[in-house]
Amino acid sequence: MTELFLTRASLTESFDVLGPVLFPADPAHKMAIAHRLVWTLFPPDLKERPFLYRETAPSQARGRAARGEFYILSSIAPRDDRGLFRLETKPFAPCLVPGDILQFSLRANPTVQKSEMEEGQRKTRRFDVVMHALHDVPSADRAKVRPELIRKAGLDWLARQGERAGFRLVDPEAVHVDGYEQFDADPEGRRRVRSQRQPGHSRLDFEGQLEVVDPALFVEAIGRGFGRARAFGHGLMLIRRPAT
């Protein structure tokens, strides 16, 4: 398996004052800037992104409240030649056995893939799991059922991830599901060439306990990341042993 490194990267005090500039109020621009900041820690000539990352601040945090602190999981140890960050790096090689119970935290862009007929041709599209769940709910009822559907759609998606990634949720009812947010994933319109459809993006935060079923498969899945939009601060599952 590829060697992995886990890094906590924090903006130095001299750059902390730039929080309102580096982490603007618009979530799409904030996400894009964070992506570019993390890329500064890796060689610019790489053809493939060698990292996943996660901001430690809540997804809704803006300006100075965003703190500029990231967890980064990468196949290359990051280097800061510009003096932007304080880096704390260690190998990521958890020693796990089947049956281990872990606390986890995951910020993800959960989607579901569906096949549809369009103009006589079958096409496969990806949908936000929450909006897909709300699709058949009458508009007048959506506000009332939305919180329940957000939780159910998110947990169903996470359980499916576990089936493929060697873990299961210890108690789905105890998993905290929060932070559902939607925004334009292409604020500058770079991808809107042939269609006027606005590229959408959504995310959910999960926290709870899981049981390791297949340690090797689980660690490999953590290295790949979960869900979509992994280049933009989603998909990195953080794990730790429960406090005793």
- How many other C-beta atoms lie within 10 A of the C-beta of residue 45? 5
Which of 91, 117, 135 is the last residue in one of the domains? 91
Q: Could you tell me if 122 and 229 lie in one domain? A: yes
Q: Could you tell me if 55 and 36 lie in one domain? A: yes
Lowest mean pLDDT of 11-25, 123-137, 188-202, name the range. 188-202
One-letter identity of residue 217: L
* Rounded average pLDDT over 62-68: 58
Q: Could you tell me if 55 and 148 lie in one domain? A: no
216-233 pLDDT per residue, tens? 999 999 999 999 889 889
7 has a pLDDT exceeding 90? yes
Q: Could you tell me if 9 and 129 lie in one domain? A: no
Q: Could you tell me if 223 and 114 lie in one domain? A: yes
List beta partners, residue 73.
Answer: 6, 52
Residue 56 DSSP class: S
Residue 25 DSSP class: S
Residue 207 domain boundaries: 101-187+196-240
Which of 91, 120, 143 is the last residue in one of the domains? 91
CB 167, CB 212: distance < 8 Å:
yes
Q: Could you tell me if 87 and 150 lie in one domain? A: no
Q: Could you tell me if 124 and 235 lie in one domain? A: yes
Give the count of domains, the chain.
Answer: 2
Sign of CA pseudo-dihedral 67, 44, 105, 114: positive
Cα–Cα distances in angstroms (integers) from residue 89 to residues 147, 158, 161, 221, in the given order: 38, 28, 27, 20
Q: Could you tell me if 231 and 125 lie in one domain? A: yes
Q: Could you tell me if 19 and 52 lie in one domain? A: yes
173 has a pLDDT exceeding 80? yes
Q: Could you tell me if 60 and 171 lie in one domain? A: no
Instruction: Give which of 65, 58, 81, 68 is closest to 9, Cα–Cα.
Output: 68
Q: CB neighbours of 219 closer than 8 A, spacing ≥ 6?
A: 1, 94, 96
Total-model pTM: 0.85
Work out the angle between the directed axes of helices 139-165 and 215-224 (0-180°, nearest 10): 130
Which residue has tokens 């599952």? Answer: 237
Q: Could you tell me if 30 and 135 lie in one domain? A: no
pLDDT band at residue 19 under the 50/70/90 scheme: low
Note whether residue 96 is domain-resident: no
* Rounded average pLDDT over 35-52: 93
Which of 43, 64, 91 is the last residue in one of the domains? 91
Which contiguous run of DSSP H or E holds residue 112?
A: strand 111-118
